[in-house]
Amino acid sequence: MLNNMRKREEWLQKTWVVWAGALLCCALWGSAFPCIKIGYKLFEIEASDTAGQILFAGCRFTLAGIFSILLGSIPEKRILRPTKDAAGPILVLSMLQTVIQYLFFYIGLAHTSGVKASIIEAVNVFVAILIASILFRQEKLTIRKMAGCVIGFAGVILINLSGLNLEMSFQGEGFILLSTVAYAFSSVFLKRFSVKHNPVMLSGYQFVIGGALMIAAGILAGGEIRTISLQGAGMLLYLAMLSAVAYSLWGILLKYNPVSKVTVFGFMNPVFGVILSALLLGEREQAAGWVSVISLVLVCVGIYVVNSGKRE
């Protein structure tokens, strides 16, 4: 039993496994940007309908929680159930990773551009590494890690540079930043809690609780889903499944690797978002040309620099 656990830990710490797993997560999260927009159209949710958007997000994450629990139950050959001492960690993660992050994100996104939101969201890589290093001392903060983050962040800024307006507002960019900080804290806490608890179980139940709270908030704010179609249901199921797979896999990678080694891949989210938006929404101008190529190279170099040091 111990040998199997050690082999699994060693396998999940291999560089190619971390790269493949983290990039899959980022590709899934990147696909969420255009798919959410498509979902709004299918469900006829207007851009100004924040309550409807929160209700839609709540349905997505509640389903994601159910999918996570079912997926995690297959290898265990039993339904994943939280222990009594897991209640606190699940509640903390549901507030940080789902409720606070997405409430601030959806409200902030209504008052700023997608370009600015993408750049600010990428700040979570810096915040997560600083929190893990300085507050929780889970790893050492090195010049190499910070240099890799700066290089990767430069790639994110470059791919979003066209039409960038530097004017800021608290309800717009400020809320997006608060969303980013909440997500960064959730990554660090997920690593901390997964030492004792199954990360897939934590992700599943925090999604169910967080999603239910968002559904309640959306309904109380006057949100409603007026149109339901087969295409819309299919898109909602896809968004729920991508969250279940991505967050569960992300949690497993964080359990066995330093926070910096995994979270630095977060710089790929806006890159995948731009590329997939071009393919699915026809927004080809921003994704085409040498700017996107240089951005992708900078992001990859940044990821490599952070991961190139000695294993901690």
CA distance between the termini of the chain: 25
Q: Is the pLDDT higher at 272 or at 288?
A: 272
Tabulate helix, strand, coil % of the chain (nearest 5).
80, 0, 20
Q: Which tens digit of pLDDT belongs to each residue from 84-121?
A: 899 999 999 999 988 898 888 777 766 765 556 666 77
Give residue 114's Cα distance to chain centre: 16
- Which of 2-16, 258-272, 281-295 bottoms out in mean pLDDT, i.e. has the lowest? 281-295
Checking if the pLDDT of 310 tops 60, the result is no
Q: Which tens digit of pLDDT belongs to each residue from 139-154?
A: 788 888 888 888 878 8
Q: What is the mean pLDDT of residues 156-165?
A: 60
| CA distance linking residue 295 with residue 311, whole number of Å | 27
Mean pLDDT, the chain, whole residue set = 83
CB of 275 closer than 8 Å to CB of 47: no
The domains of the chain are located at 27-139+167-258
Assign 285 a pLDDT band (cuts: 50, 70, 90). low
Percent of the chain with pLDDT over 70: 85
| CA distance linking residue 56 with residue 233, whole number of Å | 11
* Residues whose CB falls within 8 Å of the CB of residue 229, separated by 6 or more in sequence, listed in order: 42
- Using only C-alpha atoms, the chain has a radius of gyration, in whole angstroms, of 19
